[in-house]
A and B are shown apart, each in its own frame.
Chain A
């Protein structure tokens, strides 16, 4: 590539400093770079900060003092035969009945965009079964237009959720595809999440 074109693209040479035969190529590069910039990704998914701090706390818990690790270390403990039979019976019953979530789970995360119009709100949190109904995911309104939004990674499946305005008012998403009675006189919004291959 011509060194003068490189200098132009580095910002070291103005466009009119280029010879005429290079200006068309310079314009092509400008268009190409505009195209690349137009594909700018959105910001970090919501709740990333919470997950980072949780991982740090988990790592701290993993580095427990030696005496505690010693206490928790697995050991061989003699067990009477009758207790073994009783334990085997419990395992068999659980196997036959099955546990919720015991089947193979597709752990591919799908990023879902949540949006709510709440012009008077000071804060808006997203709560749902995926946050154990705790307000750990705060939506953002960066431009102050009253439209709060954020992307959240969810496992494929059907999820129930609501918005919490200013830490107190639980609000149902008016734009949800479907709803489920929450048992407290309100309705949870439903979002169905699937991967591109339909799982």
Chain B
């Protein structure tokens, strides 16, 4: 693609990109992917704990989004709509993994295995935190990460995930309580 053509599309609004995609433009959808892939990918990597799983999840989410783009009722907020599809794809992925893969492996994080040398390595505290987050139920993990790591307000989370603010607060509160217990057990 020529640089001038590329810079043109970068100034097109989200709603216009949705319209062009619905008319069959893969280039327009490619630009939507470029705009929102980092947002979806960071969330997916935090949720799954693995880069390759995160990429699979994000790719799958965008393909679903392309197939269902006509269902996006507010094209100006297509970013939030895409994030919701990405978040749901993450949870579906974690559910499918849970049946066959232990949590420690699933999240790809360092587990406490009693090996003193490994635990003496730097970064073990961070690994314990990541492991604790990876042990949370998917909905609690999602709410906790969006609130405390990705910087969403409860109102934004509610609008994006279509879950009430009190329900989201409850998930975050439970996640904090669970983390407190897990981190105390690591420290003991």
Contact of A6 among B59, B62, B66, B173 (CB under 8 A): B173
Which chain A residue lies CB-closest to B59? A52
Q: Is the CB of B125 within 8 A of A56?
A: no
B3 contacts which chain A residues (CB < 8 A)? 122-123, 166-167
1/0 per residue A26-64: CB within 8 Å of B? Answer: 000100110111111101110011111101110100000
A44 and B37 contact, Cβ closer than 8 Å, known pairs A36-B133, A53-B26, A55-B63? yes
* In the assembled complex, A169 has its CB within 8 A of some CB on chain B: no
Q: Cβ of B130 and Cβ of A43 under 8 Å apart?
A: no
B126 and A35 form a contact (CB under 8 A): yes
Q: A35 is contacted by which of B58, B125, B154 (Cβ under 8 Å)?
A: B125
Whether B104 sits at the interface, judged by CB under 8 Å, is no
Is the beta-carbon distance between B169 and A53 smaller than 8 angstroms? no
Q: Which residue of B lies closest to A6 (CB)?
A: B173
Task: Give which listed residue, B130, B148, B154, contacts A39 with CB less than 8 A.
Answer: B130
- Residue B83 lies at the interface, judged by CB distance under 8 Å to chain A: no
Q: Name A58's closest neighbour in chain B (CB-CB).
A: B63
- A179: interface (CB < 8 Å): no
State the CA gap A188–B11 with chains docked (Å): 35
Chain A residues with CB under 8 A of B2? 167
Binding site for A on B (CB under 8 A): 2-3, 6, 26, 29-30, 33-34, 37-38, 40-42, 45-46, 51-52, 54-55, 58-59, 62-63, 66, 125-126, 129-130, 133, 148-149, 154, 169, 172-173, 176-177, 179-180, 183
A36-B133, A43-B38, A53-B30 known, 13 other contacts, Cβ within 8 Å: A6-B176, A32-B129, A35-B129, A44-B38, A50-B30, A51-B59, A52-B33, A52-B66, A56-B66, A57-B26, A109-B52, A166-B3, A167-B2
B52 & A153 in contact (Cβ 8 Å cutoff)? yes
CA of A84 to CA of B167, assembled, Å: 69
Nearest CB of chain A from residue B109's CB, rounded to whole Å: 10
Give Cα A109–Cα B52 distance, bound, in whole angstroms: 7
Known contacts A41-B42, A49-B34; is A56 also within 8 Å of B26 by CB?
Answer: yes
Contact of A48 with B63 in the complex, beta carbons under 8 Å: no
Q: Give CA–CA (A109, B40) in the complex, Å.
A: 20
Q: In the complex where A49-B34, A53-B26 touch, is A41 in contact with B45 (Cβ < 8 A)? A: yes
30 pairs from A and B in contact (CB 8 Å cutoff): A1-B180, A6-B173, A10-B154, A32-B183, A33-B148, A35-B125, A39-B130, A40-B42, A40-B149, A41-B42, A41-B45, A41-B46, A43-B42, A44-B40, A48-B59, A50-B30, A52-B33, A52-B62, A53-B29, A53-B30, A53-B33, A55-B59, A55-B63, A56-B26, A56-B29, A111-B51, A153-B51, A153-B55, A167-B2, A167-B3
Residues of B close to A39: CB separation below 8 A:
126, 130
Residues of A within 8 A of B179 (CB): 32
Verify if A9 is at the interface (C-beta below 8 Å from B). yes
Please give, as numbers and ranges, the residues of chain B lying within 8 Å of A56 by CB-CB distance: 26, 29, 63, 66
Contacts of B40 in A (CB 8 A): 44
A50 proximity list for chain B (CB < 8 A): 30
Residue of A nearest to B34 (CB): A49
| Contact flag A1-B177 (CB < 8 Å), given A35-B129, A39-B126, A56-B29 | yes
* A1-B180, A35-B126, A59-B63 known; A52+B149 contact, CB < 8 A: no
Closest CB-CB distance, A99 to chain B, in whole Å? Answer: 27
